[in-house]
Chain A
Amino acid sequence: MIETILEILKQSDADDYKIISSKTVSNEFFFVQHKLDMNRKKEVEHIQLTVYKKIDHDSYLGSSSCEIHPTMSREEVENAIKNLCISASYVKNPIYTLNGSNHKEMAERKAVDAKKAAQDIIATVKSCNESENEKINSYEVFVNEKEIRIINSQGVDVSYSNMDSMCEIVLNAKNETHEVELYRNFVFGTCDRDYLKTEIENALQSGKDRLRATNTPNLKKGTVLLSGKNVCSLMRYYISRCNVQNLYTGISDFSLNESITKEEVSGDKVTLMGCASIENSGSNAAYDSDGHKIEDRILIQDNICCNYWGNQQFSQYVGKSEACIFSNFKVEGGQRSVEELKMQPYLEVVEFSDFQTDPTSGDFAGEIRLAYYYDGKKTTCVSGGSISGNIQDAQKNFLFSKELKQHNNMIVPDTVCMFDVNITGIEE
Chain B
Amino acid sequence: MKCEFSKYLASKQQDCESLVELLQKHYDYASILATDVSGTSFSASRRQKAIREASLAERGFVARVYKDGLYSEYSFNVLENVEETAKKIIDELDDQLEMLKAIHVEVLDTPKIEEEEAKIFVEKEVKELPDSVSFEAVMDKLTEISNKGLSLSEHLLECMASVTMEQISKMFISQKKQLKQSYIISEGLIGALGRKGNKTQMDYQSYSGLKGAEILYEMGNDIGKVVKNVEELLDASRVEPGEYDIICTPEVAGLIAHEAFGHGVEMDMYVKNRALAKEYMGKRVASDLVEMHDGAATVENTSSYAFDDEGTIAQDTVIIENGILKNGLSDMLSALRLHSKPSGNGKRESFERKAYARMTNTIFMSKTSTLEEMIRSIKFGYYLEGMQSGMEDPKHWGIQCMLTKGREIKDGKFTGVVVSPIIMTGYVPQLLESISMVSNEIEVFGSGMCGKGYKEWVKVSDGGPYLKAKGRLG
Q: Is the CB of A28 within 8 A of B354?
A: yes
A248 contact set on B, CB distance < 8 A: 47-48
Minimal beta-carbon separation of A102 from chain B (angstroms): 26
Q: Is the CB of A249 within 8 A of B201?
A: no
User: A residues 361-392 with Cβ under 8 Å of B?
Assistant: 361-363, 365-367, 369, 384-386, 388, 392
Q: Is the CB of A168 within 8 A of B453?
A: yes
| Contacts A71-B78, A137-B273, A360-B201 given; does A168 touch B455 at CB 8 Å | yes
Cα A137 to Cα B274 with chains together (Å)? 8
Is B193 at the interface (CB under 8 A from chain A)? yes
Cα A251 to Cα B201 with chains together (Å)? 9
> A152-183 interface mask toward B, CB cutoff 8 Å, 1 = contact, 0 = none?
00000000000000001010100000011101
- Residue B241 contacts which of A43, A220, A250, A353 (CB distance < 8 angstroms)? A220
| Contacts A66-B52, A366-B400, A367-B400 given; does A36 touch B70 at CB 8 Å | yes
Number of A residues near B (Cβ < 8 Å) is 80
Q: Is the CB of B193 within 8 A of A250?
A: yes
Cα A367 to Cα B425 with chains together (Å)? 7
A137 contact set on B, CB distance < 8 A: 272-274
B103 contact set on A, CB distance < 8 A: 119, 122-123, 126
Which residue, A29, A34, A42, A118, has most C-beta atoms of chain B within 10 A? Answer: A42
B425 contact set on A, CB distance < 8 A: 353, 367, 384-386, 424
Cα A41 to Cα B136 with chains together (Å)? 42
B48 contact set on A, CB distance < 8 A: 93, 248-249
User: Which of B91-99, B122-130, B322-330 is the interface stretch?
Assistant: B91-99
- Residue A183 contacts which of B45, B47, B453 (CB distance < 8 angstroms)? B453
Is B318 at the interface (CB under 8 A from chain A)? no
Is A92 at the interface (CB under 8 A from chain B)? yes
Cα A246 to Cα B158 with chains together (Å)? 11
> A217-236 interface mask toward B, CB cutoff 8 Å, 1 = contact, 0 = none?
01010000000000000000
B199 contact set on A, CB distance < 8 A: 361
For A168, give the chain B residue with the smallest CB separation: B453
Minimal beta-carbon separation of B288 from chain A (angstroms): 26
Is A420 at the interface (CB under 8 A from chain B)? no
Minimal beta-carbon separation of B473 from chain A (angstroms): 8
Q: Is the CB of B400 within 8 A of A361?
A: no
Is A65 at the interface (CB under 8 A from chain B)? yes
User: B residues 113-164 with Cβ under 8 Å of A?
Assistant: 135-136, 139, 157-158
Q: Is the CB of B75 within 8 A of A40?
A: yes
Q: Is the CB of B96 within 8 A of A39?
A: yes
B92 contact set on A, CB distance < 8 A: 41, 43
Is A426 at the interface (CB under 8 A from chain B)? yes
Q: Is the CB of A250 within 8 A of B108?
A: no
Is A319 at the interface (CB under 8 A from chain B)? no
Which residue, B71, B78, B400, has most C-beta atoms of chain A within 10 A? Answer: B400
Q: Is the CB of A36 within 8 A of B106?
A: yes
Minimal beta-carbon separation of B161 from chain A (angstroms): 14
Cα A220 to Cα B103 with chains together (Å)? 52
| Contacts A36-B108, A249-B158, A354-B400 given; does A386 touch B474 at CB 8 Å | yes
Minimal beta-carbon separation of B392 from chain A (angstroms): 8
A65 contact set on B, CB distance < 8 A: 51-53
Is A327 at the interface (CB under 8 A from chain B)? no
User: Which of A83-91, A340-348, A395-403, A411-419 is the interface stretch?
Assistant: A83-91
A37 contact set on B, CB distance < 8 A: 71, 108, 333
Q: Is the CB of B100 within 8 A of A69?
A: no
With contacts A41-B74, A181-B395, A218-B241 known, what are 19 further pairs, Cβ within 8 A?
A29-B100, A38-B72, A39-B73, A40-B73, A42-B76, A71-B80, A86-B135, A138-B274, A168-B455, A170-B274, A179-B395, A251-B157, A253-B200, A361-B199, A361-B202, A363-B421, A367-B391, A384-B398, A424-B242
A-B contact pairs, 17 of them (CB 8 A): A29-B96, A32-B272, A35-B108, A38-B333, A39-B93, A40-B354, A63-B50, A88-B51, A90-B49, A115-B99, A137-B272, A138-B274, A218-B241, A249-B157, A250-B193, A365-B474, A426-B472
- List of 9 A-B pairs having minimum Cβ-Cβ separation, nearest first: A250-B157, A424-B474, A424-B241, A354-B391, A35-B108, A181-B395, A367-B400, A42-B75, A66-B53
The interface of chain A, by Cβ under 8 A from chain B, is 26-32, 34-46, 62-67, 69-71, 86-88, 90-93, 115, 118-119, 122-123, 126, 137-138, 168, 170, 172, 179-181, 183, 185, 218, 220, 248-251, 253, 262, 353-354, 356, 358, 360-363, 365-367, 369, 384-386, 388, 392, 422, 424, 426
